[in-house]
Chains A and B, each alone.
Chain A
């Protein structure tokens, strides 16, 4: 816009009577000032101006609030006692701190046992997947084997396929193996690079390994390293950033997963946290139906939600720095 203005100015028929030189100088000075103000506001590039920055902050803070609100709600609700719940002046910050709901929730969830089970499932599956999916992804990206294109299509197919299609035969299979109501139906597929979203992790690894330079293989081969040595000594150490991403995803998704445990462990006495929460909710609904009205219902639910999220928050808190870096550096996807 500024450019066209100057062009116009130059084309302006400047009268001979006024001193044209001075006129033009003054005009260009004021133009420059305008430009400077404009730069200040809009920026030389779009992400430098004040206007733009304000808009960004407004959007981001709004969305961040949407993300944080339920968590804040959870944190404040679970520490309210009866007086604070019924007090209409208390909306967010309770006047006193009450930790009894946490205790009730721990009893409801049988927290110790459920927590241990959740850890066994999420930890076991993520530990296995991070390794087995790396092996498969490496083969897909850098090695050769018969029918590679076919198996590549099958990988995509596995990614797309909803678990509901294969769940019934899988139940029958594990039943005949006598593994129902144990954690094995979740862990066993992970050993072979499958399991919950296993195909996605293989795809992530594949796209990462295919970005590494070809010279790595050649150098290692010239040094006489076998494929296994190459994989363990060179490739795995290089893929630290992907490993962080995969471990975190695998852990979180398995921790939160409700579907598979609800199928394979439903009749079990000890269940992982996600099922324990569902059972607790059902129990409370039953109580409500039976006429046992309580103002604590919501507070207890929030306390149990907190107990389930809390370990994840700790994990995320420690892993987030590497995680964010890893996401940026690996290119995560093709």
Chain B
């Protein structure tokens, strides 16, 4: 009797759950899965749009070959420098936002004011406004220019990397602008480490430096990776990303192929960071328990 009722409760739960998730799944099928499959389909075809209908001609991998081999300038000369730039930017964004989040978490007079200011980028950085600011030359740090760092870089940094690093240097302020959400995530994550742990470590006579490395940082590892993921996703839909504007209605077939190549690159990036995360997490939980 009681078993039957429990079973009933669990089926009831399942029905409720299905009802709640149904709209999302419908949306997923309509706005994600179907378009995704369709763009994969189109990437193997030559798509011609006439006045009253769309003509598809199967051309196999020709779209991909065009982008990857025959006409690789877009991929190799525009996207790859951007990816290198992204690789330089990601650690800077992470370290900077971690630093600011930890500072903002401390108690000091005027904290509220600083918080209000530091959340301003969240509001502006997603828009055209920042582009406007960059074009006004607000993006670079004049200190770096006066130190002539770029000439040193040209000399000492191996071949293909000097360019991206210089670009990153020149848009350093911009990087700070783009770390608004990351600061938020770290700040939220910092709240999850309970105050009693800090108290215990203080009583045990741990120095602040040790406390940071042994308590704060390990506690923030999940958030570091969440931020890594977010930053990767965010950078790949950056307005300055060369691919974004190339996916256009001018040529449905090859644009779809390009989008898919791009997507595979992103998946590789994300997969890599997830792999790294699982490794670090396992190592940490090994020492913790």
Contact = CB atoms under 8 A, between A and B. Distances in A.
A165 to B, nearest CB: 4
A92 B127 CA distance: 25
B126 A140 contact: no
A167 B247 contact: yes
Given A145-B18, A160-B267, A168 B177 contact: no
B78 interface: no
A249 B234 CA distance: 14
B126 A253 contact: yes
A192 B32 CA distance: 11
Interface of B: 9-10, 13-14, 16-21, 23-28, 30-32, 34-36, 38-39, 42, 54, 99-100, 103-104, 106-108, 112, 114-124, 126-129, 132-133, 136, 138, 173, 176-177, 184-185, 187-189, 191-192, 202, 208-209, 211, 222-223, 226, 229, 233, 236-237, 239, 243-244, 247, 249, 252, 255-256, 259-260, 262-263, 266-267, 270
Contacts, number: 247
Majority secondary structure of chain A interface residues (helix, strand, loop or mixed): helix
A167 to B, nearest CB: 6
Contact of A162 (B34, B115, B120, B266): B266
Majority secondary structure of chain B interface residues (helix, strand, loop or mixed): helix
Contacts of A69: 138
Interface stretch (A6-14, A52-60, A80-88): A52-60
A71 interface: yes
Of the listed residues A166, A257, A316, the one surrounded by the most CB atoms of chain B closer than 10 A to its CB is A166
Contacts of A286: none
A274 interface: yes
A146 B14 contact: yes
A297 B36 CA distance: 43
A332 B256 contact: no
A122 B232 CA distance: 25
Contacts of A162: 233, 236-237, 259, 262-263, 266
Interface string A60-84: 1001101111110100000000000
Interface residues of A, number: 91
Given A47-B208, A56-B106, 16 more contacts: A57-B108, A60-B114, A67-B176, A70-B136, A143-B16, A144-B14, A151-B25, A157-B32, A159-B233, A161-B263, A162-B237, A165-B36, A168-B249, A193-B24, A194-B27, A333-B189
